[in-house]
């Protein structure tokens, strides 16, 4: 989880053939940027994992004073990966739960490699790692 002063991305290359074609470029400021990686074991404990992830995401956004949350699928953090369907479902579930709390939440295009730039501040809360 990163508290980003600025986050810019542009879609670069589709890596899941079945997702729809998109060509996007967006930027965000004062956001809690969440790199999400789901593992095979997470599919077995879906409810527990997602509830804990939601709690951690909301905590980070509140703690760092972010006024929005950006969810980004980042399946490069481990050698164990869940199915793409589960990862996409998890991100949709998190987005729905965060939206219901009145917090603006955005997602980067699922199934794409992105070109991106991050500007992360120097305070310790600006970068937090949580394993569920």
Q: Where residue 47 sits, what CATH number does that domain have?
A: 3.50.80.10
Whole-model pTM: value is 0.94
pLDDT at 77: 63
What's the structural domain count of the chain? Answer: 1
Residue 109 DSSP class? P
7-36 average pLDDT score: 96
Q: Is the pLDDT of residue 7 over 80?
A: yes
Q: Is residue 131 part of a domain?
A: no
Q: Is residue 99 part of a domain?
A: yes
Residue 21 DSSP class? P
Q: Is residue 93 part of a domain?
A: yes
Beta carbons of 105 and 98 less than 8 angstroms apart: yes
Q: Is residue 127 part of a domain?
A: no
Continuous segment of H or E residues that includes residue 30: strand 25-36
Q: Is residue 128 part of a domain?
A: no
Taking the CA atoms of 34, 102, 56 and 80 in sequence, report the sign of the dihedral they define. negative
What gap in Å lies between CA 56 and CA 103, rounded to an integer? 14
Q: Is the pLDDT of residue 132 over 90?
A: no
| Structural domain range at position 42 | 2-121
106-115 average pLDDT score: 96
Q: Is residue 86 part of a domain?
A: yes
What gap in Å lies between CA 110 and CA 91, rounded to an integer? 9
Alpha helices, H only, the chain: 40-44, 46-64, 84-100
Q: Is residue 126 part of a domain?
A: no
Continuous segment of H or E residues that includes residue 117: strand 112-120
Query: What digits encode the pLDDT tens for the residues 71-108?
Result: 999 977 677 899 999 999 999 999 999 999 999 999 99
Q: Is residue 110 part of a domain?
A: yes
24-46 average pLDDT score: 96
């Amino acid at each position: 989880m990163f508290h980003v002063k600025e986050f810019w991305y542009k879609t670069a290359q589709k890596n899941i053939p079945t997702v729809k074609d998109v060509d996007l470029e967006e930027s965000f400021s004062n956001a809690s940027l969440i790199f999400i990686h789901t593992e095979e074991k997470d599919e077995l404990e879906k409810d527990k994992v997602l509830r804990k992830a939601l709690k951690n995401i909301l905590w980070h956004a509140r703690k760092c004073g972010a006024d929005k949350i950006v969810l980004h699928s980042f399946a490069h953090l481990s050698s164990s990966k869940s199915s793409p369907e589960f990862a996409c479902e998890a991100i949709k579930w998190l987005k729905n739960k965060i939206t219901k709390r009145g917090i603006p939440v955005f997602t980067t295009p699922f199934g794409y490699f992105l070109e991106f730039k991050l500007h992360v501040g120097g305070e310790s809360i600006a970068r937090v790692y949580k394993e569920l």
